[in-house]
Amino acid sequence: MRTLIQNGLLVDPANRVQAPLNLLVEDGTVAAVTRERPQADEVIDAAGMIVAPGFVDLHMHEDPVGGDGAIETSIFNFMLRMGVTTAVGGNCGMNEHEPGDYLDIVDRDGAPVNVALLAGQAYFRQKAGATDKYRPATPGQRREEARGLAESLDRGCLGVSYGIRYSPGIDQAELEETAAVCRKQDKLIAAHIRDDAEAVFGALKELLDAGRELGLPVEVSHIGSMAGFGQMARFLAMVDEYRMNGLRVDCDCYPYYAFSTHLGSTPYDDGWMDRYGCGYDVVELCEGKYKGRRCTKEIFDEVRRDHPDCITVCHVMKPGDVDLALGHPSVMLASDGILNRGQGHPRAAGAFPRLIAQFVRTGKLTLHEAVAMMTSMPAEKLELKRKGRLNAGADADIVVFDLEKIQDRATFSAPTLAPEGITHVLIGGRIAMKDGRVAEDRLGRSVRK
């Protein structure tokens, strides 16, 4: 099957290309990039459109595995509709299932998008018996964690992720002993660091020092929700200092000014309002009988006690800090998408088109910069040499969109509305999504390293 995508503006930051070129796709790869119009079985007319590599989301939270052993695809469909062709789950230390087995299920059944995973330290911490998130693991538990993580890396996981904020009992010994399993294959460590707001600097130093000590690449997760309270300029300067002294460190951020987490999680432990300088009313509940309501003390206490897994949105981040992060050359886009029974933050369905609509069309970023943040930068960080690019021989994962019409539609009250302005998404050279509708939802395969 030969498919020709013609008449579009090809934007490929990995190859420093922005030009009117046609793509010929065959057998799942880009066969040729040309000004000509070779014969093809199918022709996609991209006149007036942008043709870009499929977006790579290096920080999202994967769908669970159901009782029948199949993946309950929900968020992956929303990823596809917003142009993501490769999604990386297993973030913040969490896995929904044994990660190597999860990747095998993706290969057995297919998925709406290509799926890669990080091995979640918290997942293996629980398996090792360290169930109290506030207490350090024992030496034996640390060894068992490291064993499970190492096996997952051998089965193709791209690195190890941490949710230190969610497991504050992690100490330096546990962090370094579990991260050390990445050294064999030079895989990365990624983390939701220990603290935020004014305490963010010590938390950042903890992670970066571990990466420097072990000689590993580091990814600092969703920095808008870590330093987006007046600390971002100092935070980025600290990251730059480590980069200039040899650490391979990068960051990611989503283009919203509110974060999302479960109400029973540690970010809402005692003292949270003092930390953010706010009241209960900044917390919006995303599900249950109070869905769409802002909290009072009574509602907050009731739901945290009775429904601690309730997804919330917390409207406390400073727009200027988030914009500053997204304009920094070492920061890439990631959705941090997570859904619970189809409810959650709109970033799961809107983050990628939102970057173009709110940052490119307003002049905060160039088109080339924004596409790089969504394609070549994450692919390079993850060392996915055939993703995030469209030169001959690359995987034919492609998104076609209208620069003037692309727009996120997901909102805090309707978080899964599909975006507009994306006409085609191809995975492995086949049309997976067309004009907002999923055409094939089993084209994705595991991505391993």
- 100-140 residue pLDDT tens: 999 999 999 999 999 999 999 999 999 999 999 999 999 99
Q: How many helices (H) and strands (E) does the chain have?
A: 14, 25
Rounded distance, CA 3 to CA 438, Å? Answer: 19
Residue-level pLDDT, tens digit, the chain, 449 residues: 999 999 999 999 999 999 999 999 999 999 999 999 999 999 999 999 999 999 999 999 999 999 999 999 899 999 999 999 999 999 999 999 999 999 999 999 999 999 999 999 999 999 999 999 999 999 999 999 999 999 999 999 999 999 999 999 999 999 999 999 999 999 999 999 999 999 999 999 999 999 999 999 999 999 999 999 999 999 999 999 999 999 999 999 999 999 999 999 999 999 999 999 999 999 999 999 999 999 999 999 999 999 999 999 999 999 999 999 999 999 999 999 999 878 889 999 999 999 999 999 999 999 999 999 999 999 999 999 999 999 999 999 999 999 999 999 999 989 999 999 999 999 999 999 999 999 999 999 999 99
Angle formed at CA 14 by CA 9 and CA 17, multiple of 5 degrees: 35
Structural domain that includes position 270: 264-313
Are 161 and 191 a contacting pair, CB within 8 Å? yes
189 with 301, same domain?
A: no
Residue 73 confidence (pLDDT): 86
Please write the tens of the pLDDT for every residue from 19-72: 999 999 999 999 999 999 999 999 999 999 999 999 999 999 999 999 999 999
Residue 444, domain member (yes or no): no
Q: Among residues 77, 382, 403, which one has the least CA distance to residue 252?
A: 382
The CATH number covering residue 188 comes to 3.20.20.140
Identify the pLDDT of residue 15.
Answer: 98
Identity of the residue numbered 227 = A
Q: Are residues 361 and 371 in the same domain?
A: yes
- For residue 416, being part of any structural domain is answered with no
Q: Clarify whether residues 307 and 199 are in a common domain.
A: no
DSSP 8-state secondary structure symbol assigned to residue 387: S
Nearest to 270 by CA among 293, 301, 247, 246: 301
Shared-domain flag, residues 186 and 281: no
* Same domain, residue pair 207 and 243: yes
